[in-house]
Amino acid sequence: MTDMPDYMKAKAWPFEQARAILHRLDIEKKRGIDRGDKPVIFETGYGPSGLPHIGTFGEVVRTIMVMDAFRALTDNKIPVKMICVSDDMDGMRKVPGNVPNQEILAEHLGKPLTQVPDPFECHDSFAGHNNAMLQRFLDGFGFDYEFQSATELYRSGAYDDMLIKALENFDKIMDVMLPTLGEERRATYSPFLPISPTTGRVLYVPMKSIDPKAGTITFDDEDGSEVTLKVTGGNAKLQWKPDFGMRWAALGVDFEMFGKDHQANSVIYSRICKILGAQPPVQYVYELFLDDKGEKISKSKGNGISIDEWLTYATPESLALYMYTKPRTAKRLYFDVIPKAVDEYFQHLSAYQKQDSKAQLNNPVWFIHHGKPPQDFIPVSFALLLNLVSASNASDKDILWGFIERYSPGANAEDFPMLDDLAGYAVRYYEDFVKPAKTYRKPSEQEGAALMDLSKRLRDVPNAEQSDSDALQTLIFSVGKDHEFDNLRNWFKAIYEVCLGQSQGPRFGSFVAIYGPGETADLIDAALAGNFLS
Is residue 297 very low, low, confident or very high in pLDDT (cuts 50, 70, 90)? confident
When pLDDT is averaged across residues 322-333 and rounded to a whole number, the result is 94
Q: Give the pLDDT of residue 498.
A: 96
344-370 tens-digit pLDDT: 999 999 999 999 999 999 999 999 999
Contact 421, 315 (CB under 8 A): yes
When pLDDT is averaged across residues 398-412 and rounded to a whole number, the result is 88
Please say if the pLDDT value at position 466 is more than 70.
no
Q: CA geometry: angle at 296 spanning 502 and 41, to 5°?
A: 115
User: Can you give the pTM of this predicted structure?
Assistant: 0.91
Is residue 332 very low, low, confident or very high in pLDDT (cuts 50, 70, 90)? confident
Name the residue with higher pLDDT: 293 or 193. 193
When pLDDT is averaged across residues 467-492 and rounded to a whole number, the result is 94
Please say if the pLDDT value at position 269 is more than 80.
yes
Q: Is 297 helix (H, G, I), strand (E, B) or coil?
A: coil
Q: Give the pLDDT of residue 303.
A: 62
Q: Give percent of the chain above pLDDT 70.
A: 97
Domains of the chain: 7-182+239-290 (3.40.50.620), 439-534 (1.10.10.350)
Please say if the pLDDT value at position 165 is more than 50.
yes
List beta partners, residue 130.
none
What one-letter code names the amino acid at 232? T
Q: How far is CA 506 from CA 296, 496, 521, in A?
A: 31, 10, 18
Nearest CA to 42 out of 277, 278, 257 is that of 257
Whole-angstrom Cα distance, residue 8 to residue 16?
A: 9
**Whole-number average pLDDT of the chain:** 93
Contacts of 338 (CB under 8 A, 6+ apart): 310, 313, 314, 318, 429
- Show the 3-state SS of 362-408: CCHHHHHCCCCCCCCCCCCCHHHHHHHHHHHCCCCHHHHHHHHHHHC
Is residue 302 very low, low, confident or very high in pLDDT (cuts 50, 70, 90)? low
Among 111-120, 298-307, 325-334, the range of highest mean pLDDT: 111-120
Contacts of 402 (CB under 8 A, 6+ apart): none
Whole-angstrom Cα distance, residue 174 to residue 222?
A: 23
Q: How far is CA 153 from CA 180, 299, 351, in A?
A: 27, 23, 45
Is residue 2 very low, low, confident or very high in pLDDT (cuts 50, 70, 90)? very low
Please say if the pLDDT value at position 185 is more than 90.
yes
Please say if the pLDDT value at position 442 is more than 90.
yes
Whole-angstrom Cα distance, residue 195 to residue 114?
A: 13
When pLDDT is averaged across residues 329-354 and rounded to a whole number, the result is 94
When pLDDT is averaged across residues 226-251 and rounded to a whole number, the result is 98
Contact 269, 244 (CB under 8 A): yes
When pLDDT is averaged across residues 461-475 and rounded to a whole number, the result is 81
Name the residue with higher pLDDT: 38 or 50. 38
Q: Give the pLDDT of residue 1.
A: 42
Q: Is the Cα dihedral 391, 397, 402, 405 positive or negative?
A: positive
Nearest CA to 485 out of 520, 436, 526, 444 is that of 444
Please say if the pLDDT value at position 534 is more than 80.
no
- Show the 3-state SS of 26-85: HHHHHCCCCCCCCCEEEEEEECCCCCCCHHHHHHHHHHHHHHHHHHHHCCCCCCEEEEEE
Q: For 168, what's the count of Cα atoms within 13 Å in the CB-facing half-sphere?
A: 10
List beta partners, residue 112.
91
Please say if the pLDDT value at position 57 is more than 60.
yes
Q: Give the pLDDT of residue 305.
A: 81
When pLDDT is averaged across residues 5-13 and rounded to a whole number, the result is 94
Please say if the pLDDT value at position 38 is more than 70.
yes
Please say if the pLDDT value at position 291 is more than 90.
no
Nearest CA to 139 out of 89, 69, 84 is that of 84
CA 407 to chain centre: 34
When pLDDT is averaged across residues 298-304 and rounded to a whole number, the result is 61
Whole-angstrom Cα distance, residue 105 to residue 96?
A: 9
Q: Give the pLDDT of residue 300.
A: 55
Contact 511, 520 (CB under 8 A): yes
